[in-house]
């Protein structure tokens, strides 16, 4: 009798554990409202309400995360932040270093730098127009003469 009570209690716990998972609410398709503070060269963080884990948030260009190298010490480091957003830490020329908020777009990551709307998009080293990067295969291009590649 004692053994059957112990088994019955174990079975009940397993069934209840299964019920908890079945009754968990499904993820909502309702968009959440976020408040974003633009990131500039004096700050490395984006502040928002309803922040999600960057590792699990959807990012169209998540494979681009990490450091990309340009010429003469130029670089861009791409870090996924919230859903469809990125932090772009960038040294784009000898005098311009900053952090920018990037957003998923159809062909790349859009961002604004110095009041100019720009986009990082895929290309080859030859597409960058930079002799030093000409033999590279995996690159991101901002505009003619500005590109970043992975080795």
Rounded to whole angstroms, the Cα distance separating 117 from 77 reads: 18
The pTM assigned to this predicted structure is 0.62
In this predicted model, what pLDDT tens digit does every residue of 91-143 receive, in sequence order? 999 999 999 999 999 999 999 999 999 999 999 999 999 999 999 999 999 99
pLDDT, tens digit, 9 for 90 and up, residues 15-34? 444 444 444 444 444 443 33
Cβ contacts of residue 78 below 8 Å, gap of 6+? Answer: 61, 64, 65, 66, 68, 86, 87, 88, 102, 109, 120
Query: Tell me, what's the pLDDT at 151?
Result: 73
Among candidate residues 139, 140, 137, the one with its CA nearest the CA of residue 118: 140
Where does the pLDDT of residue 9 fall: very low under 50, low under 70, confident under 90, or very high at 90 and above? low
Return the pLDDT at 104: 96
The pLDDT value recorded for residue 1 is: 52
> What percentage of the chain exceeds 90 in pLDDT?
58
Q: Write down the pLDDT at residue 24.
A: 42
Sign of the four-CA dihedral 22, 50, 28, 59: negative
What 3-state DSSP class applies to 16?
helix
Least Cα distance to 131 among 70, 90, 64 occurs for 70
DSSP 134: T
For 96, list phi and psi in degrees, rounded to 5.
-120, 110
Per-residue pLDDT, 53: 54
Distance CA 81, CA 27 (A): 20
Per-residue confidence (pLDDT) for residue 23, from 0 to 100? 44
pLDDT digits (tens, 9 = 90+) for 47-97: 343 445 555 568 899 999 999 999 999 999 999 999 999 999 999 999 999
Distance CA 108, CA 142 (A): 10
């Amino acid at each position: 009798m004692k053994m059957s009570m112990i088994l019955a209690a174990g079975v009940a716990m397993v069934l209840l554990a299964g019920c908890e998972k079945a009754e968990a609410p499904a993820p909502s398709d309702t968009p959440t409202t976020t408040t974003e503070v633009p990131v500039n060269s004096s700050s490395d963080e984006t502040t928002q309400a309803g922040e999600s884990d960057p590792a699990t948030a959807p990012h169209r260009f998540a494979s681009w995360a990490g450091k990309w190298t340009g010429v003469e010490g130029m670089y861009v480091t791409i870090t996924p932040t919230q859903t469809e957003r990125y932090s772009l830490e960038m040294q784009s020329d000898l005098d311009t270093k900053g952090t920018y908020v990037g957003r998923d777009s159809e062909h790349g990551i859009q961002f604004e730098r110095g009041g100019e709307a720009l986009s990082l998009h895929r290309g080859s080293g030859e597409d960058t127009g930079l002799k030093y990067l000409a033999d590279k295969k995996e690159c991101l291009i901002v505009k003619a003469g500005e590109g970043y590649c992975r080795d």
